[in-house]
Structure 1
Amino acid sequence: MHYTGTVWRPPYEASSLLLEVTAGCTHHKCKFCTLYDDIPFQFKMSPMEDIEADLQEVKGQFRLWNDNKVTRTFLVGANPFVLKATRLLQIASLIQKYFPTNKNIGCFSRITDIALKTDEELLKLSKAGYDGLTIGIETGDDDALKFMNKGYEAKDIITQCKRLDNVGITYNFFYLTGISGIGKGEQGAKDTADICNQLHPQIIGANMLTIYPNSELYQEIQKGNWQEETEIEKYKELRTLVRYLDIPVWFAAGGASNAIPIQATLPRDKEKILSVLDKIIQSVDEKQLREYRKNLRHL
């Protein structure tokens, strides 16, 4: 298989076929991000020959081991949805050629990737099986989005995700707890809940900001331009997000960046999760949480 660097996928894509179609990130300017630092280039598209060769390899393995049928494919790369619709449709056709049982195709997408597509193209992609996109919106806090160089504003999240709603492409959000900085997290959480409440994410996954020395954000901290929240502040922020979310959604803070995993179906489990978060805020030691963050060598 043609995999480049660390292969990143959401936890809920564990059973999907992982197919590399891009490597790296077209944006590569977010101050906190170090996920693709092990790649010696910013971004590249996989040759169609490599994509087909990988599908042939997987097909051969399935014949050898008589494994379960492929029903979902996740396209690997920081933001494969940036590819032109014609190329994405070509990839979908190849997947269908080798795995007729495949029902849908997911991938990471930036908000700006959606904006590159016309409504007609999005509809074609939906009919071709593209569904369940994972979008790192990070926050609805415009000041934080600007400072971190995300490349879009909160209003763009609403505009572009409503376009996905209109063509029937579902999507999942990643929220980055701590991105607003010290003293601003709870307001950032309220802003994010306000955005999410206007949309229809299937899943909201919360990751906690972990700052590594090779990030641009680390340099900003050294210059005195930004201050990190305490670990307890991050949990207060997470509590605020859950409190103000009013939509039916699967909420999960379960990645390695979260010292204490939390998951729930909202709004059904809201009071239970708020109670759990209250206990963490009141009884877990800041030093312990900080030690966890300090020793987190890799996300």
Structure 2
Amino acid sequence: MHYTGTIWRPPYEASSLLLEVTAGCTHHKCKFCTLYNDLPFKFRMSPMEDIEADLQEVASTIKRWKGFGFDRTFLTGANPFVLKFERLMEIANLVHKYIPSCKTIGSFARITDVTLKTDDELDALHKVGYDGLTIGIETGDDVALRFMNKGYLAADIITQCKRLDRAGIHYSFFYLTSISGAGRGEIGAKATAEVCNQLHPIEVGANMLTIYPDSELYQEIQKGNWTEESELEKYKEVRTLIENLTIPTIFGALGASNAFQLMGELPRDKQKLLDTLDKIIANVSEEELRHYRKNLKHL
């Protein structure tokens, strides 16, 4: 299999076939992000020959291990959904040719990737199996989105995800706790809930911002242009987000950036999640949480 650098996937894609079709990120300008700094390039598309060779390898393995197979494929890279419609269709055709058991194809995606597709193209992509995109919206706070160079605003999230809704393409969101900075966390959480409440994310997953020295955001902090929230502020922010979500969805905080793992179905488990967060805020010290953050060598 052809894999380049660290392969990132959401927790819920653990049983999916991981197929590399891109490496790196087309945007690569978010001030907080260091996920693809180990690559010697910004973004690269995999040659179709490599993609087909990997699928042939998987098909051969499935043939040897009878009863083993994949019903889902997750395309790796920061935002494979940026690929042109024709290339995404070609990849889907190869997936179904070699892995006939595969029913759906997912990937990470940027809001701007959706913008590049027409409504007809989104419909066609859904028909060949594209479903369950994971979108790192990070926040609904326009001030933070602008400062962090995300390349879109809250209104864009709403517009493009409503287009996905119409096409029948489901999606999940990643929320980045603390992206709004000290004193603005709960403002960001409420703005994000307001965005999410107009849409239909399958899951809202929270990751806590962890700042590494090789990030542009670290340099902004050194210049005095941005201040990180305290660790307890971050948990208050997560609480505010959950409290203000009114849509049926799954809420999860399962990544390594979260010192405490949270998972629940909203609205059913809302009070349970809020009670858990209240206990963390009341009983866990800032020092304990900061120790965890400082010793988190890599996400």
Q: Deviations over 1:49-95 (max 9, x none)?
A: 00000001111112222252211000000000000011000000000
Residue correspondences, number = 299
What's 2:62 paired with? Answer: 62
Matched, 1:168 2:168: yes
What's 1:261 paired with? Answer: 261
Q: Deviations over 1:125-181 (max 9, x none)?
A: 010100000000000000000000000000000000000000100000000000000
1:141-180 → structure 2 map (5 Å cutoff): 141-180=141-180
Aligned-pair identity (%)? 71
What's 2:95 paired with? Answer: 95
Instruction: Work out the CA distance in 1 between the residues paired with 2:70 and 2:188.
Output: 40
Matched, 1:115 2:112: no
1:251-290 → structure 2 map (5 Å cutoff): 251-290=251-290
Matched, 1:4 2:4: yes
Give the 3-state SS of the residue equivalent to 2:247 in structure 1: coil
Matched, 1:27 2:23: no
Q: Deviations over 1:18-77 (max 9, x none)?
A: 000000000000000000011100001000000000001111112222252211000000
RMSD: 0.6
Give the 3-state SS of the residue equivalent to 1:276 in structure 2: helix
- List structure 1 runs of 4+ shifted beyond 3 angstroms: none
Give the 3-state SS of the residue equivalent to 1:186 in structure 2: helix
Instruction: Work out the CA distance in 2 between the residues paired with 1:14 and 1:279.
Output: 30
Larger deviation: 233-242 or 276-285?
276-285
1:8-19 → structure 2 map (5 Å cutoff): 8-19=8-19
Q: Which amino acid aligns with 2:253?
A: A
What's 1:37 paired with? Answer: 37
Instruction: Work out the CA distance in 2 between the residues paired with 1:283 and 1:256.
Output: 21
TM-score by length of 1: 0.99
What's 1:233 paired with? Answer: 233
Q: Deviations over 1:276-297 (max 9, x none)?
A: 1111111101000000000000
What's 1:247 paired with? Answer: 247
Give the 3-state SS of the residue equivalent to 1:26 in structure 2: coil
Gaps of 5+ in 2: none
Q: Which amino acid aligns with 1:277?
A: L
Instruction: Work out the CA distance in 2 between the residues paired with 1:7 and 1:289.
Output: 27
